[in-house]
Structure 1
Amino acid sequence: MSTTAPTGLANGSIIGRVLRAPGDLLGRISENRHWAYLLIIPSIIFIFIIIIYPTISGIVLSFREMRLTRPDLGTGFVGLRNYQYMIEDPVFWVALLNTVKWAAAAVILEFLLGLAAALTLNRDLPGMKVIAVLILLPWFLPNVVAGNIWALMLDPRLGVLNDILVQIGILAEGKAWFADPDTALSVAILVEAWHGYPFFALLFLAALKGIPKDLYKAAAVDGAGAFQSFWQITLPGMKMVIAAVVILRVIGLVNSPELLLILTGGGPGNATQVLSLYAFQTAYLLFDFGYAGALSVVAFVVLMTFCVVYLRVSGVAR
């Protein structure tokens, strides 16, 4: 009588060991204390290619000469010449001041509108889901679409808003809002606030949902009013989200001049010129990539400084 195992079982056992081998190997590797480093290697490579390398290249470019309209100048190292020219450039100082106004005013308005919308949506009232969709609609629109819609609505001849203001007697005739240096930046900020506040509303609403209801009940038992509950419970509970949203929105506003490019192009004159738009126009209209790189580096430093100072002042980071 033969004691040899059936061929099918033997083959099945071998196949089973082969199939289990990768899993066993993975299990042994995962027990190694260096496993975490292996997991983040793809992310580090991706970040280096997409973020670190272009950033370093841009910084290096700011110290070089690169004018596509003057190939005779070459691409040699010019040191701080681009930065020296920047200090002497009056448009740079106008753009820097406008950048601060643009980011600060837009973020404050978006913060207030977003907080009001989030507090409203957080209430269990009929129709809140429909209202939530309507509130979020502006955020769904691309900057190009939103900019062209508002440019048409504020057109001095065809704009519906100008027509309404004339009909109710506020204006005697249609006004070219974006052609007036006194109103261009302010109106552009209002358009940006309309377009960007749903971002605040969405994340603030998520933060409000995470605050335990028991805290409000306990505060009510202790005799706290609505304002005291808001100041002592709601705002502290949203602190981390507020810090993250403000920083992300400031970065977006400083780095993305699409709305200003569509509405005003930086004009009239330089009334709505900001650093990112000035750098874009310097690179792709004047083809001076060296000076555009220097402008971008200054914008980068301004943003990094703001982030560090804001995190420390807000108490999120020490």
Structure 2
Amino acid sequence: MTNTTKQKLVPMVLNLPALIIFALVILYPIIKGISLSFHNTQLLMPPGTEAFIGLRNYEVMLRQDHFWNSLKVTAIYTTGVVLVSYLIGLGTALLLNSNFRGRKIARVLMILPWAVPEVAAVMTWRWILDYQYGIMNSFMASTGLIGTNLGWLVDPQLSMVAVIMVTVWVQFPLATLMMLAGLQAISQTLREAALIDGANKWQVFWNVTMPGLKSVNVVLILLLTLYSFKRVTLIFLMTGGGPSRATEVLSILTYQQAFKNYRLGYASAIGTVMLVIMLAFSIIYLMVLSRRGKETS
């Protein structure tokens, strides 16, 4: 065996355990889920009794109003979370990038929501938003903003607002950290040159800062979209997809169909649609990373 052959085989042998784990933990469940979407599979059916029905599950899915409602709810939820998380992250990043006393402590405090376990955060927010005893209603009533308590988690018109608000609280530190890193990568010389040329702060922000954050913005928005699209624990613990399916995103619908209605094949079809959508976003994300690497090389 030549040295060249050994050099090629060593990386393959070293990566083999990781590839085996990847195949068993990730690849096999994905293939199995896609396969189940073409079968009439019930959760409690004995193994090997599934009947192949082709695209029947997908045909039924496309005719169901609850699927289209979940798709719309998912789009609203994802758009709201990404937009608000980005705007708050940008504002806090600009603030933390400026010089002031206690900046290091402020940066640590800003990351805390990202470090809090999601279940603990949701339980705390459920108490804050409680209809009778919640701090949110008590505070808004004491300041005269509301006359009667608001049903944040029981009103179909407010439940989506509550879910988006809590998700943003959990997720905006990611946006802050990424944009703060992008801001620190922008040359201070460019800002000083723009100020010397007579530009005001808004012009410096729009013509120097935002172009400097272009690559970070694209990657960040794609990451926020992926994280929001697949989020299930937070929504399930807060509202369970209700009230009246107002917060039933696709991930919640998949869970409901699989483990409450026992329609595993139908749930797999919904999961496969989610996989295709997330795969499309992932391909865009990889293309952006590849292009960014070529620009910086």
Structure 2 counterpart SS, 1:173: coil
Return closer, same or farther for 1:37/1:293 CA change in 2, 3 Å cut-off.
Answer: same
Pairing partner for 2:255 from 268, 280, 293: 280
C-alpha contact 1:67 1:73 (8 A) present in aligned 2 = no
C-alpha contact 2:41 2:264 (8 A) present in aligned 1 = yes
Does residue 140 of structure 1 match 2:115? yes
Pairing partner for 1:243 from 218, 227, 244: 218
CA distance in 1: counterparts of 2:160 and 2:230, whole angstroms:
17
- Point out the structure with max Rg over C-alpha: 1
Aligned to 1:81: 56
Aligned to 1:189: 164
Aligned to 1:205: 180
Pairing partner for 1:218 from 175, 179, 193: 193
Aligned to 2:227: 252
CA distance in 2: counterparts of 1:82 and 1:115, whole angstroms:
43
C-alpha contact 2:43 2:259 (8 A) present in aligned 1 = no
CA distance in 2: counterparts of 1:35 and 1:134, whole angstroms:
45
CA distance in 1: counterparts of 2:5 and 2:96, whole angstroms:
45
CA distance in 1: counterparts of 2:156 and 2:217, whole angstroms:
33
For residue 156 of structure 1, report the CA deviation from its aligned partner.
1.3
CA distance in 2: counterparts of 1:233 and 1:33, whole angstroms:
46
CA distance in 2: counterparts of 1:144 and 1:185, whole angstroms:
18
- Counting matched residue pairs gives 292
| Structure 2 portions without partners, runs of 5+ | none
CA distance in 1: counterparts of 2:124 and 2:113, whole angstroms:
11
Return closer, same or farther for 1:311/1:236 CA change in 2, 3 Å cut-off.
Answer: farther
Return closer, same or farther for 1:75/1:142 CA change in 2, 3 Å cut-off.
Answer: same
Q: Taking structure 2 as the reference length, what is the TM-score of the superposition?
A: 0.87
Task: Give a deviation string over 1:216-275, Cα, whole Å, max 9, x none.
Answer: 223333333323332333223222222222222211111121111111100011111000
Aligned-residue Cα RMSD (Å) equals 2.9
Of the structure 1 ranges 47-56 and 270-279, higher mean CA displacement relative to structure 2 is found in: 47-56
CA distance in 1: counterparts of 2:25 and 2:214, whole angstroms:
31
Aligned to 1:106: 81
Return closer, same or farther for 1:53/1:314 CA change in 2, 3 Å cut-off.
Answer: closer
Return closer, same or farther for 1:315/1:41 CA change in 2, 3 Å cut-off.
Answer: closer
C-alpha contact 1:155 1:176 (8 A) present in aligned 2 = yes
Q: Letter of the aligned partner of 1:76 in structure 2?
A: A
For residue 278 of structure 1, report the CA deviation from its aligned partner.
0.8
For residue 85 of structure 1, report the CA deviation from its aligned partner.
1.0
CA distance in 2: counterparts of 1:30 and 1:194, whole angstroms:
52
